């Protein structure tokens, strides 16, 4: 019953060679890939359980850092792993699992902040976490406004992080950023996540990416300056 369909049709020789060649390439590819396949053939449960063992502490610490609530942090980490379980097929096996998990975590943290700001009074949404625009920092010619032009920072080296009060100021200033900006800054400058993942997870267009980071940095810089370096000048 078996017959090679290529035998039935007369092909010119060069086409036959292409068939043979492509077959040998296929064999080589499968031979090279087979040991990798075995490694990837672990069940979804096994892989995700390994991820829990390796990364849950770091994820939990980050969630705790951003939400300041044990209950919320635990819920967020749990939701993150459940989302990873459900979306496991979407995970690109060549990329690092922790980068992917942190991206999901950030998304969950943003959801959490959204829920919180909905239940909080309107004031805290429009007031503290207001998205500053460029015109808050620059005049119509694009020059620094008198009240926003960067001032000299004294003793602003790495050692200042040893001061818990400064860490508190820095953390509070990060917390005052709108949720999406907050996550963008953390992903970019703390995790070194690549821009495509940041845009995808935070639903920012790539043309808005630098605009978001720029405004977030402007606001963060200003907040640190007012609250730490020049607390007498507002």
Partner 1 sequence: MKKHLTHFVLLSCSRASLLIEKKSASPLGVVERVQLKWHLAICDGCKKYEEQSIQINSWLKSLNERTTINVHSNVELKDRLISTIKNKN
Give the helix/strand (H/E) hosting 94.
none
Residue from the set 17, 18, 25, 161 that interacts with partner 1 by CB under 8 A = 161
CB closer to partner 1, 110 vs 223: 223
CB 12 within 8 A of CB 19: no
For residues 181 and 226, what is the distance between their CA atoms, to the nearest angstrom? Answer: 20
Told to check if 218 binds partner 1 by CB under 8 A, we report yes
Q: Determine the Cα angle at 210 with ends 208 and 211, to 5°.
A: 60
What is the smallest separation between the CB atom of 150 and partner 1, expressed in angstroms? 4
Told to check if 214 binds partner 1 by CB under 8 A, we report yes
Q: For partner 1, which stretch binds (CB under 8 A), given 11-19, 26-34, 112-120, 208-216? A: 208-216
Told to check if 133 binds partner 1 by CB under 8 A, we report no
Query: How far is it between the farthest Cα atoms of the chain?
Result: 91
Q: Determine the Cα angle at 151 with ends 146 and 157, to 5°.
A: 160
Site map for partner 1, 65-94, x if CB under 8 A? x--------x--xx--xx--x---------
Tokens of 159: 């050692």
Q: For partner 1, which stretch binds (CB under 8 A), given 11-19, 42-50, 110-118, 122-130? A: 42-50
């Amino acid at each position: 019953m078996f017959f090679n369909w290529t035998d039935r049709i007369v092909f010119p020789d060069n086409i036959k060679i292409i068939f043979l060649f492509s077959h040998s390439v296929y064999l080589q590819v499968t031979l090279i890939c087979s040991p990798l396949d075995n490694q990837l053939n672990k069940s979804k449960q096994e892989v995700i359980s390994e991820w829990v063992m390796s990364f849950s502490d770091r994820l939990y610490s980050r969630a705790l850092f951003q939400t300041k609530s044990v209950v919320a942090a635990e819920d967020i980490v749990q939701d993150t792993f459940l989302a990873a379980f459900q979306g496991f097929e979407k995970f690109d096996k060549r990329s690092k699992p922790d980068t992917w998990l942190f991206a999901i975590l950030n998304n969950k943290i943003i959801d959490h902040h959204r829920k919180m700001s909905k239940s909080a009074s309107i004031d805290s949404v429009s007031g503290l976490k207001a998205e500053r625009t460029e015109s808050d920092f620059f005049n119509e010619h694009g020059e620094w406004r008198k009240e926003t032009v960067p001032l000299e920072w004294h003793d602003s080296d790495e050692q200042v992080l040893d001061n818990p009060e400064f860490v508190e100021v820095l953390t509070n200033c990060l917390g005052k950023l709108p949720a999406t900006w907050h996550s963008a800054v953390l992903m970019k400058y703390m995790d070194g996540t690549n821009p495509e993942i940041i845009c995808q997870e935070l639903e920012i267009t790539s043309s808005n990416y630098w605009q978001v980071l720029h405004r977030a940095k402007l606001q963060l810089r200003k907040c640190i300056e007012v609250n730490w370096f020049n607390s007498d000048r507002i």
